[in-house]
Structure 1
Amino acid sequence: MIRDARVLQPEFVPRDVVHRNHEVTTLSAALDPVTDEREGETTFLYGPSGVGKTCIANVVTERLQATVPELTVQYVNCWEDYTRFKTLYRLLEGLNQTFDIHRQSTPRDELVERLREHTDAYVVILDEVDQLDDKRVLYELHRTSGVTLVLIANRVEELFDPLDDRLASRLRTAVRIHFSRYTVDELVSILADRVLWGLRDGAVSDGQLEQIADAAAGDARVGLEVLRMAVEQSEREGRETVSDAIIDRVVPEAQSVVRQRNVETLTDDQRVVYDIIADSEEVAPAELYDAYRERVDDPRSERMVRNYLAKMVQYNLVSATGRGKQRRYQCV
């Protein structure tokens, strides 16, 4: 049933993308000055999870590198590399400039200066950029000659609210590209391409793709995971086609797999917050923050913990009910 398993994997980046023509065109135009050895425009991609923000950033920059082979592009997941040191280290890693850098002894400002010594065009993709614990690094990068920033986050507020006026004023001029949730028809089209590229003809029907897309509720990652698991389960059972019953059976498991991937990417502090919620039937924000402070040696601010919570809600790790003093968090 499976001809090419790669296209069913979450990390697969398609050569052509569908239903994102406006987003691709806008980002390409913002980065176009790089082809003339100039800095592109700072660009901010935002929208809910699973709508193609990271995919589009990778597709457009890969096309750009095909035009400008000497161009350096570096992707940084700020959920994982959330400190100033880690972010700058990743960027220098893209330039092969980390051989003599030591976490404990190398001054942070030296990393910035070393980055500024590289004056050629450098496109930097900062995914989950609102997770940076020190937003000053954005100001430093914005002022670095040759660097073009592509920033990715779920919501505008989570990036701009914590910024000081100096940095906010600079970033507010960025090109903003909003990604809305996929409709059922759009997600069916995305899944249909994966079926065309990776599966034998007739393995999955159009009606079953609609069934999967409807269950995914606009999240392409969930839809692709349901498709992959349904096909693999059908093969294990010796079937030549996928059945409706198998799709229904794997939907909860696929949702759980996507959720677990997100849990595994949590930082140490975020995982403490998540575990407190998981250990409780429900918990109020003040109670949650008190419990968090007791469990860590160097607690983050209440504002940062609120940021963690908002991110976990967006990634369907926790749910929130009520407002103000009545607000409560529960694990999904």
Structure 2
Amino acid sequence: MVSYPENQIIKDARALTEHFVPSRILHRDGQLTTLRDCLMPMTHKKKMRNAFLYGPPGSGKTCISRYVCEELTAHAPGVAYVYVNCWKYPSRFKILLSVLNSLGVVLSVHRKGTPTDELLDVLRKKAKERSIVVILDEMDKVEDPSVLYDVLETENVGLILISNEETALHNVDERVRSRFASAEFIEFYRYKTDEIVDIVRDRVDWGLVPSAIKREQIESIAEHANGDARIAIDTLHVAAELAENADAARITDAHITKALPRASVLSDTKKIEMLNMHQKILYEIISAAGEVEPSDLYREYERRVRAQKAEPMVERTLRKYIDRLLTSGMVEAKGEGRWRMYAKRSGG
């Protein structure tokens, strides 16, 4: 039996993050089987069936897509997969560059000097060497949906799209919608509390030393997660760190109570880190003001951007950035027309 230092709580911190791909998937048998069936043709050097995964945050979409792709590449050495979060890389250029970087392509690029079509040419060459699965997470954050068509038109490349919204494909190019008419649409429901309990217990087995947390405490974490596995895992991670930093022998109820609001803040912090400079300024203004009218928001935005010796974005682009903050749930809109106000999300 492995022995651990006294008062050690965390055994493997990687298992306490949303990026960890577990060795088994719980409570998603139907979705797992369907996605496997989509990718199965690639094991026989045939084209996969494209897939669209949708459902609320923390319902297992990202985890399952990566799990199945890890499984695929282990059994089919001639296949590679890449994962891109479109919230972090929203432009056509950044998405293609991220795909190539994940494939091990090292390019000396300059945003204004390297044509996007040049990146596309490199992707086509890589796809001749091996089949590729591209996972585009949070695809509704894509600024130029033509990149979806770029990928779909590339020989030997399959596409998995992930979104919280079932309607995310409604606003894309007709060519993309046409190509995805034959794709597999896979719905993910919010987890039940007892399912979250099982998921957290699995992460506990991987990430914490034995007896670090009680069953009732795991149940408490699950109840507060409201069906969101990511919130539950973040809560477990924060509670474990609090206990370890306090040199405690195990996680206490007090650690969990303190971790609950921090896990929610952690979720927002991750989103903020992915914003560009202009989006962060908009978010900061709205957060500080409590409520702000669009005209006042634009005026203060311009002032702050110019103070940083930068050029403000045009109003049309700003509206797109505000829409992004709204759809992410970081801010909310109140009222309509001339009475419209923006505010930080209640409880956020």
Q: Do they superpose with TM above 0.5?
A: yes
Is there any run of 5+ residues in structure 1 with no aligned partner, and where?
Answer: none
Q: Aligned to 2:182, what secondary structure does the other structure show?
A: coil
Matched residue, 2:308: none
8 Å contact 1:213–1:223 — kept in the other structure?
Answer: yes
Picking from 144, 156, 166, the partner of 1:156 is 166
Matched residue, 1:147: 157
8 Å contact 2:243–2:250 — kept in the other structure?
Answer: yes
Matched residue, 1:94: 102
User: Mapping of 1:287-298 within 5 angstroms?
Assistant: 288=297, 295=305, 297-298=312-313
Picking from 45, 57, 67, the partner of 1:49 is 57
8 Å contact 2:282–2:322 — kept in the other structure?
Answer: no
CA drift at 1:130: 1.4
CA drift at 1:236: 3.3
Matched residue, 1:16: 24
Distance 1:179 1:285 in 2: 35
Structure 2 CA distance for partners of 1:88 and 1:232, relative to 1, 3 Å:
closer
Matched residue, 1:30: 38
Judge which range, 277-286 or 115-124, deviates more. 277-286
Structure 2 CA distance for partners of 1:114 and 1:201, relative to 1, 3 Å:
closer
* 2:342 is equivalent to residue 329 of structure 1: yes
**1:164-205: CA deviation from partner (whole Å, max 9, x where unpaired):** 323222234321112222121111111111222233333222
CA drift at 1:264: 0.9
CA drift at 1:110: 2.3
User: Mapping of 1:308-319 within 5 angstroms?
Assistant: 308-313=324-329, 317-319=330-332
Is there any run of 5+ residues in structure 2 with no aligned partner, and where?
Answer: 1-8, 306-310
CA drift at 1:291: 5.6
Question: Letter of the aligned partner of 2:89 in structure 1?
Answer: D
Picking from 115, 134, 158, the partner of 2:144 is 134
* 2:228 is equivalent to residue 219 of structure 1: yes
**1:87-112: CA deviation from partner (whole Å, max 9, x where unpaired):** 12222223444435443333222222
Distance 2:301 2:166 in 1: 27
Q: Aligned to 1:66, what secondary structure does the other structure show?
A: helix
Question: Letter of the aligned partner of 1:309 in structure 2?
Answer: L
* 2:129 is equivalent to residue 116 of structure 1: no
Distance 2:210 2:102 in 1: 41
CA drift at 1:143: 1.0
Identity level (%): 39
Distance 2:171 2:297 in 1: 21
RMSD: 2.4
Distance 1:324 1:213 in 2: 40
**1:270-312: CA deviation from partner (whole Å, max 9, x where unpaired):** 2233123113211355764676577553334466235303332
Structure 2 CA distance for partners of 1:225 and 1:36, relative to 1, 3 Å:
same
Question: Letter of the aligned partner of 2:150 in structure 1?
Answer: E
Structure 2 CA distance for partners of 1:49 and 1:270, relative to 1, 3 Å:
farther
Distance 2:278 2:229 in 1: 28
Structure 2 CA distance for partners of 1:323 and 1:49, relative to 1, 3 Å:
farther
Picking from 283, 287, 290, the partner of 1:281 is 290
CA drift at 1:163: 1.9
Structure 2 CA distance for partners of 1:168 and 1:258, relative to 1, 3 Å:
same
Distance 2:318 2:277 in 1: 16
8 Å contact 1:79–1:267 — kept in the other structure?
Answer: no
Q: Aligned to 2:84, what secondary structure does the other structure show?
A: strand
Distance 2:173 2:294 in 1: 25
CA drift at 1:29: 0.8
Matched residue, 1:84: 92
* 2:251 is equivalent to residue 242 of structure 1: yes
Distance 1:288 1:44 in 2: 36
8 Å contact 2:326–2:333 — kept in the other structure?
Answer: no
**1:100-139: CA deviation from partner (whole Å, max 9, x where unpaired):** 5443333222222232233231111111211111111111
* 2:312 is equivalent to residue 304 of structure 1: no
Question: Letter of the aligned partner of 2:85 in structure 1?
Answer: N
Matched residue, 1:232: 241
Judge which range, 134-143 or 259-268, deviates more. 259-268
**Count, aligned residues:** 328
Picking from 273, 279, 284, the partner of 1:264 is 273
Distance 2:40 2:297 in 1: 46
Question: Letter of the aligned partner of 2:236 in structure 1?
Answer: L
Q: Aligned to 2:328, what secondary structure does the other structure show?
A: helix
Picking from 7, 15, 29, the partner of 2:15 is 7
Distance 2:235 2:301 in 1: 35
TM-score after normalising by structure 1? 0.89
